Structure 1
């Protein structure tokens, strides 16, 4: 964790991005593709770059990603930008608790999590558990429209700090990065592997 790392600004808008690219059988797509996500990732120096390959892929009705895509590597790497240490977990990857835990152990203070999900309560739980497992803030932006599951900012202890709504599609919140640093020293982050 970087000394002097005290605050950052988290701005989140319900996104018109597609983090779970769907290839339906009726489009004629029958092959496998590299699962490079169609979202944009913030890189060190405030530049945008194409997202990394998604490592954990669902296999279910409406999302046969394990059939359509080749799986990316499971070593999600943190990015440092000045005092901020952050990483990205895409959609289903929030459900993999070991991914968030490893990022927390690597010193990540903020996890960006683009999704294209429904409003099912499991997503609320998954985002909150990722924050708890990592001891990091999680900012998650969901696709708007038919998959309107909302977007929110979660504290390292799992509390939801801000949430978008139809009346409030943009949320902005100043966060204290030292809270993420301190959370790394507490339960359950201090449980040894």
Structure 2
């Protein structure tokens, strides 16, 4: 399977040009799946400390209507996260995999919600139910960890032990002047024996708040497969199911997983 990571600007005025460029890249690289950032079809709502229900509902509608158009133009399956309202009208941030006009998977909801400047997420939506097992897509077992959940090794370890080959991490992270998120993706790959792929926003937000880009792909041993940049906003990597599954039995995973089994920790 070939997967594309992408730096992304969610503002409507930027969409047409970057969609054309992304589609050209995906076609040239024979990509099967494009990973988008967290809630890619509206500007970052949680930058505002006051929740606006009307803006949230508009973002829900924009994602419901926009994924079909975006997917048809890019020409691949799409993954990321999107705002939704649960049947009881609770707002949550839910992972998705879109293919051929429908949501093929959406069982994971973000549970780790920051509450700080630029990231008032706990005020905008509720913590949801995390994915317990990976889902199978074209023979590849896929798990999600949305943004901050990259650091939730309990969640990722549970997915790894359930057989995940790939962890997809859509995110919306700022420019911190370092590559901490790249390092985190590589460390998570070493811990889980999974490919770890993450796509991020790349645009200047309000009051100098800039999203950093630096979308990243790491192999099951933590090897750096790709990191994006302003000059190279997209990158496509190949996933080897056999490499991911062999990694589960290799150092350090087999030791740590045996320790978890002894104490009965999932």
Interval of TM-score (by shorter of Structure 1 and Structure 2)? 0.7 to 0.9
Name the structure 2 match of 1:11: 4
Structure with more relative contact order (C-alpha pairs < 8 Å, separation 6 or more): 1
1:54-87 superposed Cα distances (whole Å, 9 cap, x missing partner): 1111222221223332110234431101320011
Match of 2:93 among 36, 40, 43: 36
Deviation of 1:21 (Å): 4.3
Structure label with greater radius of gyration = 2
Q: Which stretch of structure 1 is more off in the superposition, 116-125 or 143-152?
A: 116-125
Deviation of 1:27 (Å): 6.5
Name the structure 2 match of 1:189: 253
> Residue 6 of structure 2 contacts residue 228 of structure 2 at CA under 8 Å; is this kept in 1?
yes
SS of alignment partner, residue 244 of structure 2: helix
> Residue 131 of structure 1 contacts residue 157 of structure 1 at CA under 8 Å; is this kept in 2?
yes
Name the structure 1 match of 2:241: 177
Q: How does 1:82-101 map to 2 (within 5 A)?
A: 82-101=138-157
Name the structure 2 match of 1:3: none
Cα distance change, pair 85–68 in 1 and its aligned pair in 2 (3 A): same
Alignment gaps of 5+ in structure 1: 1-7
> Residue 86 of structure 1 contacts residue 111 of structure 1 at CA under 8 Å; is this kept in 2?
yes
> Residue 228 of structure 2 contacts residue 235 of structure 2 at CA under 8 Å; is this kept in 1?
yes
Q: Alpha carbon RMSD of aligned pairs, Å?
A: 2.8
SS of alignment partner, residue 198 of structure 2: strand
1:137-163 superposed Cα distances (whole Å, 9 cap, x missing partner): 011100111202311110111121111
Name the structure 2 match of 1:148: 212
Q: Which structure has greater helix proportion?
A: 2
> Residue 23 of structure 1 contacts residue 68 of structure 1 at CA under 8 Å; is this kept in 2?
no
Alignment gaps of 5+ in structure 2: 10-36, 54-88, 204-209, 261-266
1:14-66 superposed Cα distances (whole Å, 9 cap, x missing partner): 1334447416136756xx952224xx622588954685421111222221223
> Residue 143 of structure 2 contacts residue 167 of structure 2 at CA under 8 Å; is this kept in 1?
yes
Cα distance change, pair 75–48 in 1 and its aligned pair in 2 (3 A): closer
1:77-134 superposed Cα distances (whole Å, 9 cap, x missing partner): 3110132001111100101111111111011101111111024333122212221222
Q: How does 1:68-87 map to 2 (within 5 A)?
A: 68-87=124-143
CA distance in 2, matches of 1:64, 1:74: 20
Q: How does 1:156-167 map to 2 (within 5 A)?
A: 156-167=220-231
TM-score, with structure 1 as normaliser: 0.81
Matched length: 183
* Matching of residue 62 in structure 1 with residue 118 in structure 2: yes
CA distance in 2, matches of 1:46, 1:109: 25
